[in-house]
Amino acid sequence: MTWAAWLGVSVAIVIAIGAVVLWRKPSGTRRDYTGLKHHAKVHSFRLLTAILAWALIVAAFYYRPDLLKWMLRSMTHGIETIGDSLPSPWGDRAEVILRELGGFIWIQITAIIVLIRVILSGIAMGWRLTRRGDRE
């Protein structure tokens, strides 16, 4: 798939999530989010998305290093654009901070984790919608 196709899929997922959030019926029951089971689910999901993000980066490094090179160059260009758009002393400082405090790897990992969570959340919302229709 091309990047335009991936972008189109991502936009469609975001629009679907927005539609579900806006048209969702309020739940009749109140849920308890204080239990250990809930916290175990939440933190295992966080850990698994981080592991999946690292696995995707390693797979991209092995199979498609040109994608990582493109991402790195795009991040560098974006950081330079942010630095150039700010006034003189602050632009240089912002550029150094973004580069030195993880502009090359941590921002990319965070973006991948957010993308994975958006995709998985869209799948989960679709699953819940189909399951809710069966019960009614």
DSSP string, 28-51: SS-----SHHHHHHHHHHHHHHHH
Question: Tell me, what's the pLDDT at 1?
Answer: 60
pLDDT tens-digit map of 66-112: 988 888 888 888 888 888 898 888 888 888 888 887 666 787 888 88
Type of residue found at 104: F
- With respect to residue 121, please indicate whether it lies within any of the assigned structural domains: yes
For residues 6-32, one letter each, b for 16 or more C-beta atoms within 10 angstroms of the residue's C-beta and e for the rest, the string is eeeeeeebeeebeeeeeeeeeeeeeee
Number of domains into which the chain is organized:
1
How many beta carbons lie within 10 A of that of residue 131, not counting itself?
9
Is-above-0.85 flag for pTM?
no
- With respect to residue 11, please indicate whether it lies within any of the assigned structural domains: no
Give the residue numbers spanning the domain of 96.
36-135
